[in-house]
Amino acid sequence: MRYTVGITSWCWPGFSSAAMPAIRKAGFDTLQTEVGDWEDGLPLSGKDLQSEYADSAAEAGLRLLPVAVNTVCRHPFTAGLDTPEGAIALKALDVGIEAAAAMNAEGITVPNFGMNKILDPAGLENTVLALRHACEYARELGVNVYTENLLSAAGLAQLFADCPFPNLYLLFDSHNYILHGLDCAVDVLRTWHDRTGSHLHMKAGTQAHSGPLAGRDGPEEEILAFLAEKDYAGSVVLENDYQNPPLFSEDCRFMRDDILFVRRCMDKA
């Protein structure tokens, strides 16, 4: 199997570049960082931090995945790109693209959650405009853009038709649909697995707190079995909250359990 297992920086307790050797030792192959909050000046816009992350990851043997622009969940573009919040979102996207190019991190991820959730046709239209903006700039710098949203398989077909850039991919998340009362995760993956690119997210639990991947009634095993069937070559990125109870542990045992679950399911085939 060619797949790898990764983790997001916002799920690792007290993340910093100094934690990268421990992340590798815990059993992870890849790492996804984020551009940071607008209120903090989008920290990953700094060249020194970009170099620090890239060098530390290389020394630890971790591959850097696309940079997450999570700040758009608080500074949305869905209400309009010409609004003050929309201008912040566009700036954050540009900074993420530049950071990804500098760090050889392949691209950015653009979430439509929180205040940036797609709620109506106008929100979808503004999402398309924002993604077009990102894809055009990203193409100039040789990186990709990943859209993370709650659209159905048919909705994604329309999104990709309206934003027909070859560097636009889907960031599939195994649990986001369930968290929002939707039952289409497996259908979305089966329909668009060839558009998932380098990575996807895997997590479990409720809106209140994360839960272990094993021993649940969710679609995790079916999703991983499908990926194994397709000989998935990307990274299964854990997005459980290991910083707080109930999954926080000094010895990383809950992370290790989730890694083992992924590998056990993927290696069955």
Write down the pLDDT at residue 208: 87
Does the pLDDT of residue 160 top 90, yes or no?
Answer: yes
**Tokens in use for 225?**
């079995």
In the block, which residue shows the tokens 């050797």? 21
Q: How far apart are CA 72 and CA 76, in angstroms?
A: 5
Does the pLDDT of residue 24 top 70, yes or no?
Answer: yes
Does the pLDDT of residue 269 top 70, yes or no?
Answer: no
**Sign, CA torsion 4/145/152/206:** positive
Percent of the chain with pLDDT over 70: 99
Does the pLDDT of residue 217 top 80, yes or no?
Answer: no
Q: Please provide the average confidence, as pLDDT, over all residues in the chain.
A: 96
Instruction: Please report, for the domain that includes residue 165, its CATH number.
Output: 3.20.20.150
Percent of the chain with pLDDT over 90: 96
Write down the pLDDT at residue 93: 98
Write down the pLDDT at residue 67: 98
**Sign, CA torsion 179/183/188/189:** positive
Confidence of residue 254 (pLDDT cuts 50, 70, 90): very high
Q: How far apart are the first and last CA of the chain?
A: 9
Does the pLDDT of residue 1 top 60, yes or no?
Answer: no
Does the pLDDT of residue 25 top 90, yes or no?
Answer: yes
Question: Which structural domain, as residue segments, surrounds residue 215?
Answer: 4-267
Other CB atoms within 10 A of residue 154 CB: 12
Contacts of 181 (CB under 8 A, 6+ apart): none
Q: Number of folded domains in the chain?
A: 1
Task: Give me the sheet containing 168-170, strands edge to edge.
Answer: 67-68, 107-111, 144-148, 168-170
Confidence of residue 156 (pLDDT cuts 50, 70, 90): very high
* Residues 68-107: tens digit of each pLDDT: 999 999 999 999 999 999 999 999 999 999 999 999 999 9
